[in-house]
Amino acid sequence: MKDKYHLSEQLADKLVISENRELFQEICDSIKIEPTTVAITLEETLTNLKRKGVQVQKKQLMELFKALEEKKLSREAIPTVLEEWAKEPHENLAVVLKKAKIETVTSKEIEEFVKVLVKSARPKAAFNIIMGEVMKKYRGKISGSIISEIVRKELG
């Protein structure tokens, strides 16, 4: 499992004995998504949510990972989305995302925001300051790596 899915030894060991092993394999074999994200969600995020009394259904997980594959949300939003969805499991994901105030944004929208910040930032501290400001506004709406790439590009 470790080699096939490129998992850390710790995650692979958890999955080997997990009740979620088959679900993990099903998700990874049917949806093009980072296996580590799936493993962490199934083994850590769901465990934390269960401690809060939050129960998640398989069909919700499948839909969530499909949306993640389609970049409709970022992986940072997964716990929030699942917790919100558990309150109203009959709702579709689009409604849950709206209620959780998780909106997708385009790279173009972030580029415009970064351009404004770049104009007002001091050169030496620019990257960290701009990343902080952009993440405050867009955390959970788009991957941090995409934001970092945009900031680096705009800074030249």
CA distances in angstroms from 20 to 17, 77, 117, 125, 155, listed in the order given: 9, 21, 44, 44, 43
Clarify whether residues 56 and 87 are in a common domain.
yes
Q: Total domain count for the chain? A: 2
Based on the domain organization, do 52 and 19 belong to the same domain?
Answer: yes
Structure confidence at residue 94 (pLDDT) = 85
Q: Are residues 30 and 90 in the same domain?
A: yes
Q: How many CA atoms lie within 13 A of 149 on its CB side?
A: 7
Amino acid identity of 138? Y
Residue 75 and residue 34 in one domain: yes
DSSP assignments along 101-113, one per residue:
T-----HHHHHHH
Tokens 């993440």, located at residue? 135
Are 56 and 116 in the same domain? no
**pLDDT at 134 (0 to 100):** 85
Provide the pLDDT for residue 44: 93
CA 93/CA 63 separation, integer angstroms: 7
- Same-domain status, 28 and 95: yes
Low-confidence ranges of the chain (pLDDT < 70): 121-125
Residue-level pLDDT at 99:
82
Q: Are residues 94 and 38 in the same domain?
A: yes
Question: Can you give the pLDDT at residue 98?
Answer: 83
* Structural domain that includes position 60: 2-99
